[in-house]
Structure 1
């Protein structure tokens, strides 16, 4: 009987997804069916609905809609153009210059906006046509854009790291934010190396070297956007304000910056508020449904059984981390990042902490791992956005995507087995 809840949970979730049920409803309904194994219909239904509501009752979660609104303001506020111009002066003359510009701009845009989809949308629509005009294949441009967009989910401020903090039961958001910098930049560098080698092999055009005066001018233009990172992260790390308060400051700053750039006006605000509200509703429903599944998992003692099984498999941290990474890579193919973090953190975190791993380090491993899932079908949201903007197909993008995908996996395993890549910065600040 002890394996029945696990079987019900997995089979019902997979079947619901297979028939096209939205992810959030698949999670909630499979949680309900799992509880029916142990308790009657009415208490099971009441518990799931109650957990969806109480799962959202958290002050820390208030940061997510505010960061989403901030990202929407940044996306519409002319930030992308200025970041691209700055990146162009830095790496435009290197092999695969436009691809490198895409990666650096996506890293900056993703970090500022906190959204991989916003970064993929902005960079794809602006740089995609320009890359094609310069002789780059449409599929290569889409592949670069898709993989680069995910780096902003590791480089703070990141909504997913806030979700992980909630799921882990108290990992410091400030420590997680600082821990994301080196892994995020490392992943970006690996993508740049692969893109440069691919571009050189294909003989794509190389741009002209920019003069120092132009580098300085584009830097000054982009500086107000980049300064937001200092304000938000600096305030959180120094303890001046919490992550939730920082998200409100980010909204105000991005709004004023959009007005300063004359890219945002009051008549545009209703559309911006509506778009951010739509995104917030989707994310919050996913979080609420995932919290109900987490409770169902705990009630049926599934995390403890999985933990016992993994620890019985081996007590070697290298082996356990390898197994967890492979499982998360598989999970990322079928599940969106937010529910995956909420559901699998309570399952895997006790295992890794029993082996002496830091919860902050594991948070970066998990988020970096699930970023790869955003680039893979059938649920990879960033993959579909990137392919849609490039007006191409997934089948055509697979070939140039594969080496970039491998670069991300190599970065993941380096971060997994070299904890200092994640923990060095937080330790410098005593976190």
Structure 2
């Protein structure tokens, strides 16, 4: 609730969540001081995988901009169709596919400079595009067979990825409906959300 209400940034919300978890764990006795080194090592392993991807995505995005890839994408897509409905569906499909195989931050750093000019070219609001982008990536995270969150859930629960994937259909459909509402009804993302 803190992120959506505008009280916290995502980073601050993560810090609050970790602090709250530590305090509750200590009060309940389920977390001991000697557990901290193992937790720090585990956290370092997870971040050790993600941070290099993020670090390398920025130079890639800068190289794509220097090579004028965004302008090339706008030209290529608009030469095939200028129908905003089809262009938005194409962007959503690209974002869902990207969300299946890569974390949010690298996707944003790499794809936003490429797709934002395309969205602006068809008259989309920047805020609307950003919300559409993040929600589309979220759909990709749970879309079988490659959705990253399926593997995270499998690792946490010990359930097979295929068993989890067989049950995410309603969630994928629900999230797709949200993406389409955000993509095609600008008021949802520009007026009804808190500033």
The TM-score, its normalising length taken from structure 2, stands at: 0.79
Q: What is the CA–CA distance in structure 1 between the aligned matches of 2:23 and 2:161, rounded to whole Å?
A: 39
| Residue among 377, 382, 396 paired with 2:149 | 382
| Residue among 60, 73, 93 paired with 1:306 | 73
| Residue among 89, 107, 129 paired with 1:322 | 89
Residues 400, 266 of structure 1: alpha-carbon distance in 2 compared, 3 angstrom cutoff:
closer
Q: What is the CA–CA distance in structure 1 between the aligned matches of 2:74 and 2:113, rounded to whole Å?
A: 10
The TM-score, its normalising length taken from structure 1, stands at: 0.40
- TM alignment of 1:224-263, pairs within 5 A: 233-234=6-7, 236=8, 248=15, 251-263=18-30
Deviation of 1:252 after TM superposition, in Å, equals 4.2
Deviation of 1:270 after TM superposition, in Å, equals 1.5
- TM alignment of 1:32-431, pairs within 5 A: 157=3, 177-178=4-5, 233-234=6-7, 236=8, 248=15, 251-377=18-144, 379-387=146-154, 389-394=157-162, 396-426=163-193, 428=194, 431=195
Residues 318, 383 of structure 1: alpha-carbon distance in 2 compared, 3 angstrom cutoff:
same
Asked if structure 1 preserves the Cα contact closer than 8 Å seen for 2:140 and 2:147, the reply is yes
Q: What is the CA–CA distance in structure 2 between the aligned matches of 1:280 and 1:326, rounded to whole Å?
A: 28
Give unmatched runs, 5+ long, in structure 2.
none
1:270-301 Cα distance to aligned partner (Å, 9 max, x none): 12222222222222111111112112211221
SS at match of 2:160: coil
Deviation of 1:364 after TM superposition, in Å, equals 1.8
Asked if structure 1 preserves the Cα contact closer than 8 Å seen for 2:150 and 2:164, the reply is no
Partner residue, 1:69: none
Q: What is the CA–CA distance in structure 1 between the aligned matches of 2:161 and 2:14, rounded to whole Å?
A: 36
Asked if structure 2 preserves the Cα contact closer than 8 Å seen for 1:336 and 1:379, the reply is no
SS at match of 2:191: helix
Residues 344, 390 of structure 1: alpha-carbon distance in 2 compared, 3 angstrom cutoff:
same
Q: Which has the higher contact order (CA 8 A, sep 6+)?
A: 1
Residues 262, 353 of structure 1: alpha-carbon distance in 2 compared, 3 angstrom cutoff:
farther
Residues 398, 278 of structure 1: alpha-carbon distance in 2 compared, 3 angstrom cutoff:
closer
1:15-37 Cα distance to aligned partner (Å, 9 max, x none): xxxxxxxxxxxxxxxxxxxxxxx
Q: In the comparison of the two structures, how many residue pairs are matched? A: 194
Asked if structure 1 preserves the Cα contact closer than 8 Å seen for 2:100 and 2:148, the reply is no
Select the structure of larger CA radius of gyration.
Answer: 1
Q: What is the CA–CA distance in structure 1 between the aligned matches of 2:192 and 2:32, rounded to whole Å?
A: 39
Q: Which moved more, 1:362-371 or 1:335-344?
A: 335-344
SS at match of 1:374: helix
Residues 378, 341 of structure 1: alpha-carbon distance in 2 compared, 3 angstrom cutoff:
farther
